[in-house]
Structure 1
Amino acid sequence: MNEMTNAQLMLTYTRNFFKGSLKTSNKTFSRYLGTALPSRRQRRINASDRAAALIPRLRHRRDNIDTVLLLHSMNPNERAGNCKEYTCIALKFGIDTKIPNIWLVNHDLHAFLVLANEPRLQGKLTLNEFEQFKNDEFWVCDAWFNIHCRLDMYAPMVTLQSNYWSLEGKEIYTTDDTHVPASQWCQRLRMIELECSKMTDSAGMPTDDCSDFLSS
C-alpha cells in the first residue's frame, strides 16, 4: 500500500480532468491588485463568471444523478467545479481503481481527501491538529488547491499557496458571496473544525458515507 503514490495519482487525474476547462467559480482575480498580467487576470475573471453561472445549475439539476456522470457528459472545455466537484472526481477515480482507506475532510468552507490507514482520523480536527500525524504516512490529495503532501504538512502548504495567490491578486469567494484575498480566506480555514469520514474501506470499496457524499 502506497499512500503517497495513490494520492498523487488521484491529484494528477483530477487536474487533467479539469485542464483547459472553466475550472472554478470561487477562485478568481482582483481586477486591480496583484502581480498577474492583465490578460491572465481577465481570462480567469471571465472563466470564473461563466463557471459561477454553470455550477449552481449543475447542482440543481443533478438530483439523484452522480456529479461525476454529469461532469463526464460535458464538453471538456465547459467543465466547471469548486472544491466539492474536484473532490468528487478524485474520489470516483479512487473508487474505480480500488484505492483503500480514502478519507473525506469536509466543511462548508472546503473539502479534500486524505489517504490514511488509521481510525484516529475519525471526527473533527483543525488544520493545526494535523501536526499530530507527523510520524504517520498520511497523504493529502487536494485537487482544488493543487496540493499533494503529507497530512502534517498540509497547514503550512495551504498557507504558502494562499500567500502566493494573494501576491498574484487571487481572491476567494466565500459562502456569503463576498470575495477576500486568498491569504485571508486561508486564515479562516485554519480556524475551523473539519469533519473526517471514511470513503473507502481497506479493500477499496465505497462506504455508505461515500455514497451519500457523491449523491448529495
Structure 2
Amino acid sequence: MIRVLVADDEALVRSGLRMILEAAGGIAVVGEARDGREAVSAAARLRPDVVLMDVRMPGADGLAAAAAILAATEPPKVVMLTTFDLDEYVHEALRLGVVGFLLKDTPPRELAAAVRTVADGQAMLSPSVTRRLLLSYADRPPSRAEAARRQLAALTGREEDVVRAVARGLSNAEIGRELRLSEATVKAHVSRVLAKLGLANRVQAAILVHDADLG
C-alpha cells in the first residue's frame, strides 16, 4: 500500500485527490494538510511514501515545505501540484530534489500512475509537462550550455543515449524498447548516469540535456 500525504489550501482539491487516489486501489491517503507548516508536521508524523503538494499555499508555501521535508532522513518523494505558470519558484523546487510535477487537471488514471511511478523510485516526467518546463530554459546563457556539455562529457555513448531518452520523457520500458535493452539494464544505466552527474532525479537530468542543447 502506497501511503500519500496531500497538501493543498483548497478543501475541495484535497477531497478530490483523496477520492481519485483511493479509488485506484493500492494507494491510501494517510493525511491532509492545508498549508506548508501542516505539511511538514504531517510528513514527520505520518511518514508517507509520497507527498502531493501545491506549489503555492498561504503561510509556509510549497517550496519552503518541500525544503524542510526533503532535508529529513529518508524523506518521502515530493511531487508538486501546479497550474504550471512556471517561474524561478518551480526551478528552485527541482534543485531541492522534487521528483516531478502534476497539473491539477491531470486525468485520474494518470494521477494514480504518477504516484505509483514516484513511489517506485522514478521521477514523474510526463512529456507534456517536461516540454513546458524546459521551454522556460530557452534563454539560457552560452556559459550554461558549455558547462552542461562538459558535465555530460563524463558519460559513455550508451549512457548519453539513455539520458537523451530520459530528457524526452520516456519511461524505462520505452527506453528499453527503443535502445533494445532490458528494462533492468535501462534502470541500471539511469542510476549510473544520475550518480555520475551528481543529480537527484530524472527531471534534473532532462534539464541538463536541454541546457546542453542535446534534447
Give your verdict on TM over 0.5.
Answer: no
Higher relative contact order (CA 8 A, sep 6+): 1
